[in-house]
Structures are given as C-alpha cells and as structure tokens.
Amino acid sequence: MSLPIVALVGRPNVGKSTIFNRIIKSRVAIVEDEPGVTRDRIYSKAEWMGHEFILIDTGGITLDSGEIDEQIKAQAEIAIDEADVIVMLGDVTNHLTSMDETIAKMLYRTKKPVILAVNKADNPEQRNDIYDFYSLGFGDPIPVSGSHGTGVGDLLDTIVAQFGDKANQHEDDAIRFSVIGRPNVGKSSLVNAILGEQRVIVADMEGTTRDAIDTSFNHNGQKYTIVDTAGIRRRGKVYEKTEKYSVLRAVSAIENSDITLLVLDASTGIREQDKHVAGYAHDAGRGVIIVVNKWDLPEKDSSSMKDFEDTIRREFQYLDYAPIIFVSAKTGKRVPDILNLVDKVYHNQNRRIQSSVLNDLLLEATRITPTPLVNGKRLRIYYMTQVATNPPTFIVFVNDPELLHFSYKRFLINQLRQNFDFTGTPIKILARKRK
Ligand code: GDP
Ligand code: GDP
C-alpha cells in the first residue's frame, strides 16, 4: 500500500484551509477518544470513493521568517517535492492576481499533474466568472465553494482520477518499515547501522514520482524495505527545518510502511516533539517499535533500563503494545536485534485467530468481567470474528453497538493480548448490531 499525497497550494485567503476541512470532514477517526494523540490540522488522511490519500494544506507550513513571497515559494516547492497531485486554488472574488501567476510559473516546472480549482464560486454568476483563470494554462478550472461545498465532489473526482495504479506499487513481499523521530535522535546513524553489512539491492524505487528513496535489502531470506530514507538524509531546502514539514515527512513514511521504528534519544530523554511523532505512529494503525538509541551515553546501573521503560510507558500510554529496545547505533549494540523484532511484529500484525477460538475467549472474558449495564441496558455480545490483519481487526456482534464503550473494548483488547501474541501491533475492534 502506498498513499498518494495531494497538496493544496495558493496564495493566502483563497480558502485552502476551508477546502481542506471540507475534504477531510468525512474522515473516520479511529482513536479519537484516546488521550495523548495529537492531530495536526494541515495533514490528514482523506478518502473519496474508496481512494485513500494524504492531503496537505501547504499554507499551514510557514517559515520562521521570510516575506510572503518567500513563504509561498517554499509552499509551492513542498508541493512539487512531496505531492503526487497538486491542487492550485484561486479565488473568483479577487479574479486572477499576479501572485496566482507567480505560483503557476513555479508549478510549470513540475511534471506532476496540477489541477486548478477556483474557490468562492458560491453562486451561478460566480461559477461563470472563472474564465480568466484559463489563462494559467492548467486546463478547465473547476469552480468550487468551500463555504457551501459545491464543486468539491467534482474536484475530488478529478484528483482521484490522477492516482493511476500507484496503489499497487508495493505488491512485493518485503516488510516495509520506517525510521522516524525528531532531529538528531540518530535516525540516519541507525539506518546506516542496520544496513551495515547488508547489500542494498534497490536504492531508488522506480515509479515514485516524489523524491522519496526506499532502500531494500535481503536478510536471512526475507526482503526488507526501509521507507523514505531520503527524508532521513538532509537535503538543504529552506523549509527543511520547519517542524510541520518534518512531521509531514514522518506521516507519509509511516503511512507507507508496515512497521514504524520510533527512535528516542537516551541522552536527552523524552521531549514534547517525540510525543507528536508517536501520536502519528499510533494513529496510522501500523506496527510500532520504540527504539531507544544512544544507550552508550547515559550513566547506567541495574535499574536504568527499567526506569527508562517506565517513563516511556507513562508518556506514551496509548503505545502500550509497542516493544521497547535499547540500542546504540554508534557501538552497534543490539542493532541486529532490531530486524528480529521487526520480523516478530510483522508476524503478529498478520496473525489470524479462528472464530471458534475467539468465541471460547469471549465466553471466558465475559464470565470474568460481565458486560456493562449502560443506562439500564446490558451490552450483549453474541459473536466475535476476525475480519482483517495488519492491523488485526475484529468485529463483535452485539445487541446495540452504542453500548460497547471504550473501557469494555479496552478490556477485550487486553484479553486478546493476554491470549495471543500481538506485540507491536494495534488491535481494532468494531461493533456491529446482530441482525
Ligand atoms: P487560506 O488562507 O487559503 O487557507 O484561506 P481560508 O480557508 O482561511 O479562507 C480565507 C477566507 O475566505 C475565510 O474568511 C473563509 O471563510 C473565506 N472562504 C473560504 N472559502 C470560501 C467560499 O467558498 N466562499 C466564500 N464566500 N468565502 C470563503
Ligand atoms: P538524525 O537527525 O535523527 O538522523 O540523527 P543522526 O543520525 O544524524 O545523529 C545525530 C547525532 O547523534 C550525530 O552526531 C551522531 O553521530 C550521534 N549519534 C547517533 N547515534 C548515536 C549513538 O548510538 N550513540 C552516540 N553516542 N551518538 C550517536
């Protein structure tokens, strides 16, 4: 699986964030009720007619300093570098401006599809007023109204029509993992240490339009792909150091991998930014391994590892399923164990449990902890079955889905974890009304 990236560009106030919010509105948040998960308003997963993609509002990525022109230049560059499809937005109430022309000129340099939409076309007269935008040379402008939602469906149809067969790009049997974390925790060093003796077989994935580099190698008969090693290397763009950009990089790497190695730095401890990155890893529903790097640095005694582990568990409560490994990219200590852990988590993500076994477990679980009474009505669970892997997803058939609250779901997930090895992978439980 590989999610296409769609970027919205346009001068300030044309309505990028309004359109962004319209498009992502239908998104079903999996973990909304869990604490600690941060959400950034400028990237989101979106879906239209069965096509999933990542949407970026480039207007939300601003440099720490710089004139408006520079900001917009950087935003257009991000779209050109990162996106698979670019949507340039204009504003019919202001007609075509010289700043629109400047943006268009930058976009001419890309071979990527550019879709032109003209916003604030709130009524039929305004929808007829978009013709001066033809002169930008991006074909038929699509009139939209972020306020009313009109035209947004047409825009989405046009966007998803550009995706092609990108979705089938990774149909090999490699285990795909990404290495993420805030700057300087040692991501590049770790990638180099993991690759160490491996013979890299693919350094540049063919067919990727954006400049992401995936690195593949074989180890003990298994193929692995480290996703987006380009994002790990520094490329020296002006926008490279903005936090939002690095989060975008991390989000797309996570979405395109089976497993994420969340790297922490033992010498600095846990910082706020680590939590943001962790929230994204959890949110994506992929496997997560917490890698504490630079374990050569701290003064240690017999309880150091346990203490650090306790801190991690306290700070990242929602990642309670993620195994923790203490390594040093510098000395190589325990680096070889990382791939073993990746194998194990991959195996767990793809684990399937027979329905008969699940229902024995359900019987036992409801005996230990009876289902709750909610407003005088008792939750009844009739049957449980696994419907998907990666992440393992279970459906419970109940009398009323509203009665299955977070805490009882949590209890069922814990029962599953106690009985089967799901280390490293989130588990999803969905409730359906029994017909
Ligand atoms: P951005 O700077 O490009 O992200 O623009 P915003 O989404 O913040 O919108 C700028 C202003 O335009 C806000 O006051 C919006 O309410 C307004 N706006 C956005 N979309 C529409 C629209 O379709 N019609 C009208 N009339 N106003 C809109
Ligand atoms: P990135 O920004 O996350 O890719 O981090 P780098 O791999 O560039 O590493 C940042 C700094 O930490 C560099 O100076 C590395 O040499 C150093 N570093 C990385 N891993 C280790 C480690 O395991 N131990 C020690 N002592 N230093 C490390």
pLDDT in tens, 134-147: 999 999 999 999 99
Q: Is 297 in the pocket of ligand 2 (CB under 6 A)?
A: yes
Of 248, 237, 250, nearest to 77 by C-alpha is 237
Please compute Rg for the chain using Cα positions: 24
Q: Does residue 307 contact residue 274 with C-beta atoms inside 8 Å?
A: no
User: What is residue 208's predicted lDDT score, i.e. its pLDDT?
Assistant: 44
Q: How far is the CA of 237 from the centre of ligand 1 (A)?
A: 29
pLDDT digits (tens, 9 = 90+) for 349-388: 999 999 999 999 999 999 999 999 988 999 999 999 999 9
Classify domain 5-161 by CATH architecture: 3-Layer(aba) Sandwich (3.40)
Percent over 70 (pLDDT), the chain: 89
Give the orientation angle of helix 335-349 with respect to helix 187-195, to 10 degrees: 90
Q: How far is the CA of 336 from the centre of ligand 2 (A)?
A: 17
User: What is residue 170's predicted lDDT score, i.e. its pLDDT?
Assistant: 54
Which ligand 2 atom sits closest to the C-alpha of 297? 26
User: What is residue 129's predicted lDDT score, i.e. its pLDDT?
Assistant: 86
Whether 5-161 shares its CATH topology with 175-349 is answered yes
Q: What is the DSSP letter of 25?
A: T
pLDDT digits (tens, 9 = 90+) for 224-276: 999 877 666 656 778 877 878 877 888 888 988 999 999 999 999 999 888 88
**Sequence ranges of the binding site for GTP:** 10-17, 57-61, 119-122, 181-188, 228-232, 293-296
Looking at every residue in the chain, the average pLDDT score rounds to 88
In terms of pLDDT, which residue wins out, 314 or 278?
A: 314
User: What is residue 29's predicted lDDT score, i.e. its pLDDT?
Assistant: 40
Q: How far is the CA of 31 from the centre of ligand 1 (A)?
A: 29
Q: Helical H runs in 10-63?
A: 16-24
Q: Give the pair of three-digit tokens for residue 386.
A: 């696994």
- Residue closest via CA to ligand 1's atom 25 equals 120
**Sequence ranges of the binding site:** 10-17, 57-61, 119-122, 181-188, 228-232, 293-296
* Residue 401 confidence class, pLDDT cut points 50, 70, 90: very high
* Proximal ligand: closest to the CA of 263: 2
Is the pLDDT reported for residue 37 higher than 80? Answer: no
Q: Among 3.20.20.80, 3.30.110.30, 3.40.50.300, 1.10.3720.10, what is the CATH number of 175-349?
A: 3.40.50.300
CB proximity list for 20: less than 8 A, separation 6 or greater: 8, 41, 42, 44, 55, 57
Q: Among 3.30.300.20, 3.40.109.10, 3.40.50.1220, 1.20.1250.20, what is the CATH number of 355-433?
A: 3.30.300.20
Is the pLDDT reported for residue 196 higher than 90? Answer: no
* Proximal ligand: closest to the CA of 232: 2
- Residue closest via CA to ligand 1's atom 27 equals 120
Q: Does residue 262 contact residue 288 with C-beta atoms inside 8 Å?
A: yes
Q: How do the domains of the chain map onto residue ranges?
A: 5-161, 175-349, 355-433
